A and B are shown apart, each in its own frame.
Chain A
């Protein structure tokens, strides 16, 4: 991934591209073209806690031009000055990525140029950057399965009700009646439970739900 991100940086003719994964414990992983000095400094100073890019993008999902972030406050201004000194650039565009199981990552392009040139660059390349950002994330998820534990998907309370009644031998009309919902709505619950359980059909889904202890009859 490091070789790819360097090639992409050259392709886009920007100073830097960075893929940055922050997990819920605050641990960081990634690849990119920032200098080793800056990366070490960033980690050593724990800048993740005040970086407006992280704060502005965390638990969001719309891409952000750094100009739109809040760079006020003394510590933040000092951080920004230092980042520029380390060659990060005065412009940036960050794409937050919301992956499976609450996973969060950022893909960033940064550069040194005036506002006008940066706006033109973003307009021209935004679509490609969005797609590349998500491809990087997909690859990262593939490489690091342990960082995105594929937890057994929980059934919702309604899905559990539906599965339980089916396991007790009720037919669909009786289940719908017992839950005071339409048969149409019931079909939605059964289907979503089936999909979550990776089952071939309703009978298979009921069997799986029972064998995994998700329902008790």
Chain B
């Protein structure tokens, strides 16, 4: 299922949280060779994880992390503006209508086996991104991604508009901008194998539909 958790809510999901930060270490350090900080327990965190971002997480049936991404508003401190503005001619992108999406990560099982469902998990996360846009009035996500994700985004029908890039081949890092049209939404729902209604339900449950029911009652 799709979970929407702020950083300060992770502690009530210890297994999900631990496996997410472990899978991030695997993806970003082991697999992609990025220079990221991994602690002694094998978990990858950076300074933005300490700023209470909103995580969107695909939770597998066994309660472990299947894939995730991290959302932050571009009006406050964020990674794209502090570390990647050189890919966008040095101009910061700041708007209440644009959130950044970083640390897009797929669990090793999803990423390495053909049947692991990397594309499905990636599509489910994109579908969740669509819920966030629709639910909160966000019009674009801006994100940083590598060559491998470029292929996955294309496969699930959610390719971003590339604003800038550097590096070649496998090492190519790009900054891209996603919009989300209703037709893109149908495409990713199909790729994810999820009904839009179920996705909507998970989103509403995360953001207080339960309280709304009590309030009305």
Say yes or no: A130 contacts B75, CB within 8 Å. no
What is the distance, in angstroms, from A85's C-beta to the closest C-beta of chain B?
A: 18
Which candidate, A12-20, A179-187, A207-215, is the interface stretch facing chain B?
A179-187
Say yes or no: A192 contacts B76, CB within 8 Å. no
Which candidate, B84-92, B109-117, B186-194, is the interface stretch facing chain A?
B84-92
* Contacts A59-B6, A59-B8; A185 near B208 (Cβ below 8 A): no
A: number of interface residues (CB 8 Å): 40
Q: Mark B5-21, 1 if CB is under 8 A from A, else 0.
A: 01010000000000000
How many Å lie between the Cα of A68 and that of B213 in the bound state? 9
Closest A residue, CB atoms, query B78: A98
Say yes or no: B75 contacts A63, CB within 8 Å. no
- Judged by a CB distance under 8 angstroms, whether B35 is at the interface is yes
B: number of interface residues (CB 8 Å): 37
How many Å lie between the Cα of A97 and that of B95 in the bound state? 11
- Judged by a CB distance under 8 angstroms, whether A168 is at the interface is no
- Could you tell me which residues of chain B, from 15 to 55, have a CB within 8 Å of some CB in chain A? 33-35, 47, 52, 54
B83 / chain A contacts, CB cutoff of 8 Å: 188, 192
How many Å lie between the Cα of A184 and that of B83 in the bound state? 13
Query: Which of A71, A98, A133, A192 has its CB near the most chain B CB atoms (within 10 A)?
Result: A98
What is the distance, in angstroms, from B211's C-beta to the closest C-beta of chain A?
A: 5
The answer, among B86, B90, B96, B212, for a CB contact under 8 Å with A68, is B212
- Judged by a CB distance under 8 angstroms, whether A39 is at the interface is no
A-B contact pairs, 7 of them (CB 8 A): A60-B6, A61-B76, A63-B137, A126-B137, A185-B34, A188-B83, A192-B83
Spell out B's residues near A (CB within 8 Å): 6, 8, 33-35, 47, 52, 54, 72-73, 75-77, 82-86, 90, 96-97, 132, 135-137, 166-167, 171, 173, 207-209, 211-212, 214-216
